[in-house]
């Protein structure tokens, strides 16, 4: 899995918009002005940070060594997943889909209707 493949997948989500966070050069992907993914480099390793429930965040970290608390994000809700590990591609898609759905569900109804969700 590459960072460009992940960005392409994220940008295929309804209402997704990409911006660059200038301080770290990370690619943020938002829906309705709320971030659901951030593709970045941490200590020379490509990674993606994704939002989850606190329970799932802990479970994933305990199960997968390539999933760690979100770097510079709320560690209860955000996981950083390293791309060079052993996580199957399907798991990346599952986590991106979950992050997107979690963020969309928290958006105001008018915004959800605007993006067709």
Res 117: pLDDT: 64
Res 55: pLDDT: 95
Q: Report how far apart, in Å, the C-alpha atoms of 63 and of each of 12, 14, 60, 81, 106 are.
A: 28, 30, 5, 12, 27
Domain count, the chain: 1
Res 45: pLDDT: 92
Q: Please tell me the distance from the alpha carbon of residue 44 to that of residue 33, in angstroms, as a whole number.
A: 28
- How confident is the chain (117 residues) per 10-residue block, as mean pLDDT? 93 95 83 94 92 95 93 89 92 96 95 86
The CATH number linked to 29 is: 3.90.1150.30
Res 12: pLDDT: 97
Res 22: pLDDT: 67
Give residue for tokens 């209707």.
113
Domain extent at residue 50: 3-116
CA distance from start to end of the chain? 27
Res 43: pLDDT: 87
Res 116: pLDDT: 81
């Amino acid at each position: 899995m590459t960072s460009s493949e992940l960005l392409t997948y994220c940008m295929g989500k309804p209402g997704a918009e990409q911006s660059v966070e200038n301080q770290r050069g990370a690619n943020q992907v938002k829906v309705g002005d709320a971030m659901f993914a951030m593709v970045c480099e941490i200590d020379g390793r490509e990674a993606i940070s994704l939002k989850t429930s606190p329970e799932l965040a802990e479970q994933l970290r305990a199960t997968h060594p390539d999933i760690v608390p979100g770097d510079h994000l709320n560690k209860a809700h955000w996981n950083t997943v390293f791309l060079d590990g052993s996580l199957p591609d399907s798991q990346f898609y599952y986590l991106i889909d979950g992050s997107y759905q979690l963020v969309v569900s928290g958006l105001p109804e008018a915004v959800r209707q605007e993006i067709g969700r």
